[in-house]
Structure 1
Amino acid sequence: MKYFFISKSKLRFISIVFSSFAVLTLWFIHAHAVVPDAPHTLETLKGKIPKLPNLKGIVTDREAAIALGKMFFWDQQAGSDGQACASCHFAGGADTRIKNQYSPGLLDLRFPGGDLEFGGLTSVPNDTTDHNDLSPLSTAHRTASGSLAGPNYLAKPEDFPFHQLADPLDRDSAILYTTNDVFSSQGVRPSTFVDLQKVVIPHKTATFNEVCVPELDASFIFHRKVGPRNTPTNINAVFNFRSFWDGRANNIFNGFDPFGNRSDAAFVLQNNKTGVKAIRLALKNASLASQSLGPPLSAFEMTCGGKTFPKLGRKMLSRQPLAWQDVHNNDSVLGQLLDANGKIPGTYSDRIRAAFNPKWWNGHGRYSRDNEGNIINDPKGYTQKEINFSMFWGIAIMLYESTLVSNDSPFDNGLLAAAEQRGQDIFIGKGKCVNCHSGALFNKSDEGRIERMLMSEGNTQPAFYDNAFYNIGVIPTVTDLGVGDNDPFGNPLSFTRQFIGKKRIDNYGNNPCEFEILILAEDPCNRENQQVALKTLKKGKERQAVNGAFKTPTLRNVGLTPPYFHTGGYATLESVIDFYNRGGNRRGHHQPSDRHDTSGTGMLGKGDPVAKQHRGSNLDPDITPLNLTNDEKSDLIAFLKSLTDERLACSRAPFDHPSLKVFHGTDEATQIDLIFTLPATGGTDGLQSCRPNSGNLFQEAAALPPDQGLSEDTFLPKMQNLSF
């Protein structure tokens, strides 16, 4: 008799192969296992501490850094055209202006270069969309109220919502008006950055002004440009794992741009014993720092096109903080810094030295980057402090915004009235709101991983998606890809796309036992088995429900922050509830077949020039008719308004702020900016009249200070070179 001896290593190999085979067999034998969602909960924000990066060796004085961040955020000197970060976040962290806030469908893939025209969407190039799903021909170049659409338009209540139906409760009823326009925030006038102009004043430190050349824009002419998405609130945003509607502001802060480890060119300069060296920075849990680097270089939001952060640094370092604005003597952060004249003494250079470790700013000489990417000494280059200005900016603003936590609402204090309590029950139950708006922020607390579930009504094919990013079918997917888009380097913004593909760029997680649709049908779920099955799954054939998906917004202070959705196309909470009550804007109830989804919530949307909709809808499965009564809708809205922190409505600490001149369109006859002035507040000395917690854009706008003209000696005539 022969005996066959098997080594231990071979035995382990055979065991692994057998186990994998058994796991795969189970996978093929069993139907998709559906795991009931864990109970979604709502939590108070009291006591919640946001995760922040380790700043040891970077920040030496945290309070000084917070103060610097508040200065940066509110200072109108930072923008090329008088724009501050706060210019789009002045009202409860959001923007409630109503003039010159329209933007055409600039991200719509059906139009080469985007849709540059305003008004009803009556036709689409090379598209087969049923005309019953477009706007009536009479609405071309018109708003929903029948007014001529275009830049500098003063919106009316009748212009909302942007998708109007004959029966607001029936998503298949006749379309009275629909558009791919967006209601967003005005920024700078169209212009190109030329250079900095040195200004020498006797007995004072030389300063620099920007020189910009105005341009004629195809959509906005010479009016201030308006961004392609509505402005989300920055209050409580420090809790975000990723920021912006499409998540492009990375969790990792590189000190250079918003894209974290994706950016191969990112660097900062550190001065050590061997001199100034370029290093890569990678601070975790810093998406707000990443986010803050976007607007200052955006030719829509804050700058003449083509400016760089070292140029912005050179301009700002020699300037006095908030020199154009008032600071309240009781300002909770800045009040103690004021001199006898009520101003913050010194320069931004002084403030950086007070807040940051010297190794980030005390290097001598000037530097530039050669063609190989190396840092070299260059007499015509930039100082270490100028090159690192983006790092100072991002970290300081992140630390300031980490103080903007609204945890003192009636909900947090357990003071709900009867109607609000009934509304909370609807929110958790019949309304299904809690399925996406859970946790302490009411915006999905476990962002930062991939998920797997069924998509859309009646769909039997599961899909992977980025947790806390959902396609709810407000507009066709092809109009804006959201997290399904790529970064400037060609990499997918989506964690799902990275998971399905072969290149992992970001740090994200997955727990197969928490997938709504398990890979294996087993009870209880064994994570090791699921992970093995996940690795052997033919991921390339799995659906990816990421196109048209957007970050779930927080509902805290939602009564202060109309208009709503990433399009800004809904002016009231009532219209938002109507949207959900009818099951969204998706057209067609022919289920389970998704080919009848004429709203285009699919992979790229109906009529997309790149890919056809083959594999089902990306629509979130909770977007179905709710059948809420009028009383239930009223109670639900009452609950939503109970999430407002009165301190924010009244601009009291920690939400107090310097004064701000806010642009509100232009005077057509003179082309001079219209403005209103937001007064400085401090501590408990808030606004004279608090903002109404109305959930109505036009009631919020009516509470803004009145418009007034802006003299041309402040901003030079627009057809000449601009100097700021």
Structure 2
Amino acid sequence: MGIIPIISLVIFTTALSSYLLLTSRGRFLLKSLVTKIKRQEWRFRYGKPNYLRSRFTRTITIAVIILAAVIAGNTVSAEVTGSPPVSLKSVSVPEPDNLGDFVKDKTAAIKLGKTLFWDMQVGSDGKTSCASCHFHAGADNRSKNQIAPGLLRVNADGTENPDSVFNVGGLPNYQLKPEDFPFHKLSNPNDPTTIVSDRNDVTSSQGIFNTKFVDVTPGNAEDKVTTEPDPVFNVGGINVRRVEPRNTPTVINAAFNFRNFWDGRAQNIFNGVNPFGLRDPNAAVVKAVNPNSLEFVKVSLKNSSLASQAVGPPLSSFESSADGRTFQEIGDKFGRIDKRSLSVGKGKKLPRKLAKKLLPLRPLGKQLVHPQDSVLGKDSRSPKPGLKDRTYTQMIQDAFKPEWWKSNRLIQVDSEGRRTFVKKPDRSLQTNEYTLLEYNFSLFFGLAVQLYESTLISYDTPYDRYLEGDANALTDQQKLGKELFNSKGCAGCHAGLELTTASVSSVAKDGRIKRAPFGPRSPEDNGFFNIGVRPPTDDPGLGGHDGLQGNGQGNPLSEARLAQLGKFKDLLGENPPTLSPPLNSSETVFANGAFKAPGLRNVELTAPYFHNGGQATLEQVIDFYNRGGDFGVLPPLNLSPEEKQELVAFLKGLTDDRVRFDKAPFDHPQLFIPNGHVGNTNYVVNDGTGKATDDTVEIPAVGRSGNGGTPNFLS
């Protein structure tokens, strides 16, 4: 290309830049143009075919680049000061359209949800709550007895091949150290070929001991259980608490996710019973047609993945439940113990045992509630534990419409799972007889916890204040990091104001499934990616199955694979998006080893990182991306040391200090958590029942004004 055309283009683009910056139409065109430039830049950098096939195309491209250079000094200012304030505050928290069919008082439901989330009495052991794994920035900062071996490993054909060897620490109850990380060690962190060691263990959260559920004693926080020898989680034959096979994600901002859990199995549609939405044809709750007449009904609440997620852990034999305790019938043909702990327990015991145990108990009866708690303060009994003058029955009745809890009839469930509606007797109920309120407890639990978690939105970060027009909210270093975040492709997965393509808004915009924008353009689930953290056989992630079949496999978790099988509408409730080119039933779907892209706010506080918890610091995370991942998936970024520091600085600009210091709405009741067991990997203390004695840590109650927060992982 000659010098005269280039000079002409410079003059032209300089004039054009004034129009683009000074008119609203021009600013719109500018925004579209910059977006296209970034997309084209990504294609060049990451090996897309060369689109500049002609001299004319090259000329236009140079014009675009010159235009971008001319206006570059103005785009940041225009972004901050020339546009209306846009931050996470502007994003509506997703909610089901038919919520009003169930909830009569949202404020009361939020109060119920916060109580259930933090109440240690929910667990089979009377000590384990949802918050036991989500107390620090919505995640878990514990570092002793937090290692699981590669329990989710599979063979190349997908059959189970669990690894029970502890490569980190050698045995359970290990105290992690900074030098244990990353789990995939290199002599040169910029060169993926310089492997020193590789371990497939997972840093996660300790849950409960391996026990079999027998029954509940109404009014007693501890279930009747029998201790079962644990072949994996034991020290010298004494059981220690089991550890989940995936790292614990934060619950903060999880309300924006279209699906939840790392593998997306917590469905967007809540069926009122379990995490599986329309995938489970047997899921049903009971509705009172009138006080003397009951009927089974199927419910469907869209944008309720948090409710689907909430009803999973209370029944997980790894997280908080003795094996065999369920909210409701999943069905005998579905009932089995998933060896990989991904199911909700064994479906043989059908009744609503958790409700029967909890309802007579004082809510939060083992924990102090701060008098200034932003939700529960008015009901605090401080300095005594629990809530005053409140029962779970009253809290449910305050929050939900009476047709879901008020009836003169009972649901009687026999040993074979047959259910019969009977008149209430003039005697105490047996443990296989359930009031309507008890039977529908999973519905109340899921929706109440979802509504509480939907208040945990961290929109007051330096980054959000910057987006709202405060040019000084980010440091110069953080602004440089922000530009790198966009130009180096980070925003390809962490897009939008939610900083994840796994969000409800992203799915609404681009569809539940789509074609990858680069390479062979294979179909993929929106928001799920294999970035090479581990080989897909270590943990198939989205490539796994839901387990809802007698063969133990079930249907694919991947929605793209459901579309290939022609099951999308039946199992997900809508027609699949039309892809271009159309989806072929035999083409490869990117699902094996793919996991949900998390949002990034408060990432400074939520170490360890990735689904395996194999990186302990943000610096290690940036090194991982810089070298193109550990297992050959990503293109290398070739960052300088200064650019790495800029990216880390930007990520720290995503921290909401209300989260850091437990200020409302992130304040909470008192909590007691096990931080491993008294002893070490060679010796633990038997509590007399074959279980190791807990090393218990107190997390004090905090009110709306917050406190000093809890230390970060390994701090």
**What secondary structure, in the 3-state scheme, does the structure 1 residue paired with 2:216 have?**
strand
Task: Give the 3 Å change call, closer, same or farther, for CA 180–509 of structure 1 in structure 2.
Answer: farther
> 1:611 — aligned with what?
none
Q: Which residue of 1 aligns with 2:83?
A: none
Q: Distance in 2 between matches of 1:156 and 1:297?
A: 31
1:214 aligns with 2:227: yes
Report deviation, 1:548. 0.9
- The aligned residue for residue 400 of structure 2 is 356
SS in 2 for 1:676: strand
Distance in 2 separating the partners of 1:404 and 1:387: 28
Name the amino acid aligned to 1:333: V
CA distance in 2 between partners of 1:663 and 1:169 (Å): 38
Q: Show the counterpart of 1:529.
A: none
Q: Is the 8 A contact 1:560 1:691 kept in 2?
A: no
Which structure 1 residue ranges, 5 or more long, are not aligned?
Answer: 1-30, 121-142, 199-205, 520-533, 588-618, 700-724
Q: 1:209 to 1:583 in 2, by over 3 A?
A: closer
Aligned with 1:366: secondary structure? strand
Name the CA distance, whole Å, in 2 between partners of 1:169 and 1:282: 48
**Match for 1:425 among 476, 483, 486?**
483
1:475 aligns with 2:534: yes
Would you say the 8 A contact 2:268–2:302 is kept in 1? yes
Contact 1:474 1:584 (8 Å CA) reproduced: yes
| 2:27 paired residue number | none
CA contact (8 A) 2:242 2:318 kept: yes
Name the residue aligned to 2:332: none
Residues 543/110 of structure 1: CA separation in 2 closer, same or farther (3 Å cut)? closer
Deviation of 1:368 after TM superposition, in Å, equals 3.5
Would the alpha carbon gap of residues 374 and 320 (structure 1) be closer, same or farther in structure 2, given more than 3 Å must change? closer
Question: After superposition, where does 1:674-689 map in structure 2 within 5 Å?
Answer: 674-684=695-705, 686-687=706-707, 689=708
Residue 18 of structure 1 is matched in structure 2 by none
What's the offset of the Cα at 1:193?
A: 0.7
Q: Match for residue 48 of structure 1?
A: 91
The separation in 2 between residues aligned to 1:511 and 1:454, in whole angstroms, is: 16
Shift of 1:441: 1.5
**1:188 aligned to 2:211?**
no
Counterpart for residue 302 of structure 1: 320
Corresponding position of 1:435: 492
Counterpart residue identity of residue 636, structure 1? L
1:367 aligns with 2:411: yes
Partner Cα separation in structure 2 for residue 76 and residue 583 of structure 1: 42
TM-score, normalised relative to structure 2: 0.76
Please give the alpha-carbon distance, in whole angstroms, between the structure 2 residues aligned to 1:33 and 1:63. Answer: 56
| Structure ranking higher in helix proportion | 2
Equivalent residue number for residue 252 of structure 1 = 269
Query: Quick one: which amino acid aligns to residue 176 of structure 1?
Result: V
**Match of 1:486?**
545
- Equivalent residue for 1:653? 664
- Supply the distance in 2 between the matched residues of 1:432 and 1:546 (Cα, whole angstroms): 20
Structure 1 Cα separation of the partners of residues 221 and 635 of structure 2: 56
Other-structure match for 1:106: 151
Q: Deviations over 1:234-271 (max 9, x none)?
A: 00111111000000001111111111111111111111
Aligned equivalent of 1:167: 188
Answer with 434-443 or 85-94: which moved more.
434-443
Conservation of the 8 A alpha-carbon contact between 1:94 and 1:561: yes
1:506 maps to what in 2? Answer: 572
Give 1:197 shift. Answer: 2.8
CA distance in 1, matches of 2:704, 2:638: 45
Decide which of 87, 100, 107 is 1:63's aligned counterpart: 107
Contact between 1:268 and 1:279, CA under 8 Å: does it hold in 2? yes
Among 498, 512, 522, which residue is 1:463 paired with? 522
Question: How far is 1:449 from its partner?
Answer: 1.1
Report how many residues are paired.
567
- In structure 2, the CA distance between the partners of 1:167 and 1:208, relative to structure 1 (3 Å rule), is closer
CA positional deviation for 1:33: 12
TM-score, normalization: structure 1? 0.75
Letter in 2 for 1:417: T
Q: Is the 8 A contact 1:257 1:290 kept in 2?
A: yes
Query: Counterparts of 2:646 and 2:387 in 1: how far apart (Å)?
Result: 47
Q: Is the 8 A contact 1:451 1:510 kept in 2?
A: no
- Say which SS state the counterpart of residue 103 (structure 2) adopts: coil
Does residue 1:117 correspond to 2:164, yes or no?
A: yes
1:192-207 correspondence to structure 2 within 5 Å: 192-198=212-218
Secondary structure at the counterpart of residue 624 of structure 2: helix
- Helix, strand or coil at the partner of 1:367: strand
Question: Alpha-carbon deviation of 1:690?
Answer: 3.3
Query: Could you say if the C-alpha distance between residues 49 and 149 of structure 1 is closer, same or farther in structure 2, counting changes exceeding 3 Å?
Result: same
C-alpha distance in 1 between matches for 2:381 and 2:678: 37
The amino acid of 1:290's aligned partner reads: S
What is the CA–CA distance in structure 2 between the aligned matches of 1:492 and 1:543, rounded to whole Å?
14
Q: Which amino acid in 2 is paired with 1:289?
A: A
Q: Of the candidates 595, 598, 615, which is equivalent to residue 553 of structure 1?
A: 598
Counterpart among 213, 232, 237 of residue 254 in structure 2: 237
| Equivalence for 2:119 | 75
Partner of 2:57: none
CA contact under 8 A between 1:450 and 1:508: conserved in structure 2? no
Retained in 1: the 8 A contact 2:368–2:381? no
Do structure 1's residue 328 and structure 2's residue 370 form an aligned pair? yes
**Counterpart contact for 1:449–1:509, Cα < 8 Å:** no
The runs of 5 or more residues in structure 2 that have no matched partner are 1-47, 53-60, 62-74, 81-85, 328-351, 424-429, 467-472, 549-553, 686-691
Choose the corresponding residue for 2:196, options 157, 165, 176.
176
Alpha-carbon distance change, 34 to 92 in structure 1, aligned in 2, over 3 angstroms: farther
Shift of 1:484: 1.3
Q: Distance in 2 between matches of 1:92 and 1:392?
A: 25
Aligned to 2:23: none
Aligned 8 A contact 2:411 2:419 in 1:
no
Deviation at 1:34, TM superposition (A): 9.1
Aligned partners of 2:646, 2:252: CA distance in 1, in Å?
Answer: 25
Q: Give the Cα–Cα distance (whole angstroms) in 1 for the partners of residues 556 and 382 of structure 2.
A: 53
Q: Which of residues 276, 282, 293 is equivalent to 1:275?
A: 293
Question: Do the aligned partners of 1:563 and 1:570 also contact (CA within 8 Å) in 2?
Answer: yes
Deviates most, 462-471 or 363-372? 363-372
Question: In the alignment, is the contact (CA less than 8 A) between 1:208 and 1:314 conserved in 2?
Answer: no
- Do the aligned residues in 2 keep the contact of 1:450 with 1:509 (CA within 8 Å)? no
CA gap 1:207/1:170 in 2 versus in 1, 3 angstroms: closer
Distance in 2 (alpha carbons) for counterparts of 1:372 and 1:224? 31
Alignment correspondent of 1:97 = 142
Residue 457 of structure 2 is aligned to residue 389 of structure 1: no
Three-state SS of the structure 2 residue aligned to 1:413 is helix
Distance in 2 between residues matched to 1:177 and 1:454, nearest whole Å = 34
* CA-CA distance at 1:372 after TM superposition: 9.3
Cα distance, 1:386 vs. partner?
Answer: 1.1
Q: Distance in 2 between matches of 1:49 and 1:33?
A: 40
Contact 2:608 2:615 (C-alpha < 8 Å) held by counterparts: yes
| Larger deviation, residues 409-418 vs 102-111 | 102-111
Question: In 2, distance between residues paired with 1:437 and 1:560?
Answer: 18
Of the structure 1 ranges 375-384 and 258-267, higher mean CA displacement relative to structure 2 is found in: 375-384
Q: Report the Cα offset of residue 364 of structure 1.
A: 2.3
1:499-578 matches, cutoff 5 A:
499-504=563-568, 505-507=571-573, 518-519=580-581, 534=582, 539-578=584-623
| Amino acid of the structure 2 residue aligned with 1:318 | P
Change (3 A) 1:180 1:340: closer
TM-superposed deviation, 1:195: 1.0
How far apart, CA to CA, are the structure 2 residues paired with 1:586 and 1:48? 35
